[in-house]
Structure 1
């Protein structure tokens, strides 16, 4: 039977105007598929690169805590003037320990936080700063030889490195409760913080609040610390019954020590002391006193005028060289 005249009208028709629209849509879909493929390929390459890139760790050392805790544990005193700390050896021991703990990670660097008057490096701090992979950061040292500003430096570095994904793990050697905020800041950016401490001679030398916040804890015991702490010998003086030396004699000894140090420590290190004149950083002043007492075979403790004469002689020679 022939189709009626209206049958063809019921079949769908495609207008010529419809054809470009379908073609344009297909082209857009194909372009979108291409971009998705390229994006997926890029993501896969990035993930592969990340998988090949080792994680990174850094070690943050509160030198004040280390001196106090290790000195008390090994030498029986927190007084820095009573013992010597082999900072280079201890830092290397920390690095070796980190290599074992973070086996698949590389070391960014060791941060050594200490205090100094007017933030001027002492000769000992300068020597530490010259070690490879070590950065010395200085807070202030007040009249009571107390560190000021060290905790804020630790927080700044920890937070910044974690925020920029420069580290995945941080080993923190310290014990002050003020470090809690530094730990929280680093953890907020995804870094793991591991608290390292030194065995307490008695009681506890790390704040409980700090122990609660960190991701792991580790304590270094006496046998670990003993090789790096040496108690200074107690000097005996044979001439204590005689009158004290004159101020001129002590002033001459001060100049003599300055001349010796100039040859041993170098002009640059002594020149760094000039901005602090007439004061000397605590450790340098202590070294000057100990050396003067050795040369004089007399104690200058309790003789404030003679100690001033000693510093006068020291500064007189130093300033004459610059």
Structure 2
């Protein structure tokens, strides 16, 4: 048949892109726009072969072969079929099993049934060499694509390169259309304490001097360790001054207590309580087709839905009293939502705590864009 098929080794593609753009092969180091990637593969394949696309096969591995969020988003895209191998632990590392065998079987079956005239392989694994030879024997032209290597060298099997009919290298500009390095979130280590209660009215001169000496506003959400190291500001009356941490992050190990653990913000309803059955279906569709899975983006999407359904505009302003703490139930719901996108999972043998900070930062970023910041005491600039 005069059609082309693309077989993609996801481990190779995402690992090579991460090495080139982020300096490390871990796929968690890059943010991927999967619809753009699929579109770029289709466009390039039809241009290179001069044939219409039949299908793109995406080969990857997953724990217990259960689709991860990115796999669920991929398999609802047009002309995309996802094939999953097993992801298992071996000697302290995650290794994939069955992916090469699945690619070999699919390649051989396509060639044997004359389902296509050209096959594009995006992989570097020499184990596919017998499958390539078999496809050629059945009259299929084999195009082998590589991603530009980080060190300028080859990142494919030389035997595989020698057996392919055509070979192309997809350069950095092509890769940057659909991938970008994740920016690390640097924890704050020396920031001013957050007062639990508003300060009493002060003279104008004293307020101006205090404002001049105040540090710059927080740009990232501090970690529980940062909060534990703060020296709290005495509250009114002075006898109520606290020692130790002033806030609590309820979703992390080792809760950090504060004086008034129950605040007005804790009474705000969760997103689940505000969401109808019809909205759940719409949210799921948006998650599959539009949300890329970047930690900050996930936090912003969650906050946007919650704010849209919350009601009175003044109610979200209650959260500023507790910044950067998110109410316990809402924070837990936020992190469970983020877990659907593969965030907060074990990455390179450790839980990615940076995801937690970025998710919460995205939540506050959306809140700041929608709700006026009411943390400034109302009487701070009034004359006494």
Task: Say whether the fold is shared (TM-score over 0.5).
Answer: yes
Post-superposition CA distance 1:48-96 (Å, at most 9, x none) = xxxxxx6011000101100111111222221112211222212211111
In the alignment, structure 2 segments of 5+ residues that lack a partner are: 190-224, 230-246, 256-325, 362-384
2:181 to 227, 231, 238: 231
* C-alpha distance in structure 2 between counterparts of 1:176 and 1:211, whole Å: 10
Query: Match for residue 51 of structure 1?
Result: none
74-83 vs 287-296, greater mean Cα deviation:
287-296
Query: Match for residue 185 of structure 1?
Result: 134
Shift of 1:148: 1.6
Post-superposition CA distance 1:109-133 (Å, at most 9, x none) = 0001111111111111110111100
Map 1:181-220; keep pairs closer than 5 Å: 181-202=130-151, 203-220=153-170
Query: Match for residue 252 of structure 2?
Result: 250
Query: Match for residue 292 of structure 1?
Result: 356
Taking only aligned residues, the RMSD between alpha carbons, in angstroms, comes to 3.1
Q: How many residues align?
A: 231
Query: Match for residue 334 of structure 2?
Result: 260
Q: Secondary structure, in 3 states, of the residue corresponding to 2:155?
A: coil
Shift of 1:249: 4.5
Residue 55 (1) aligns with residue 2 (2): yes
* C-alpha distance in structure 1 between counterparts of 2:329 and 2:346, whole Å: 19
Indicate conservation of the 8 Å contact 1:119/1:138, yes or no.
yes
Q: Specify whether residues 296 and 107 from structure 1 end up closer, same or farther in structure 2 by C-alpha distance, changes over 3 A only.
A: closer
* C-alpha distance in structure 2 between counterparts of 1:255 and 1:118, whole Å: 30
Q: Specify whether residues 248 and 133 from structure 1 end up closer, same or farther in structure 2 by C-alpha distance, changes over 3 A only.
A: same
Query: Match for residue 90 of structure 1?
Result: 37
Residue 171 (1) aligns with residue 120 (2): yes
State the TM-score, normalizing by the size of structure 2: 0.54
Shift of 1:141: 1.3
Query: Match for residue 98 of structure 2?
Result: 149
Q: Specify whether residues 295 and 220 from structure 1 end up closer, same or farther in structure 2 by C-alpha distance, changes over 3 A only.
A: closer
Indicate conservation of the 8 Å contact 1:257/1:292, yes or no.
no
Greater percentage in helix: 1
Indicate conservation of the 8 Å contact 2:345/2:352, yes or no.
no
Rg larger in 1 or in 2?
1
Shift of 1:260: 2.9
146-155 vs 241-250, greater mean Cα deviation:
241-250
Map 1:39-54; keep pairs closer than 5 Å: none
* C-alpha distance in structure 2 between counterparts of 1:182 and 1:124, whole Å: 27
* C-alpha distance in structure 2 between counterparts of 1:295 and 1:212, whole Å: 46
* C-alpha distance in structure 1 between counterparts of 2:329 and 2:352, whole Å: 11
Shift of 1:191: 1.3
2:12 to 61, 65, 80: 65
Q: Specify whether residues 68 and 263 from structure 1 end up closer, same or farther in structure 2 by C-alpha distance, changes over 3 A only.
A: closer
Shift of 1:159: 0.5
Residue 161 (1) aligns with residue 110 (2): yes
Shift of 1:255: 6.5
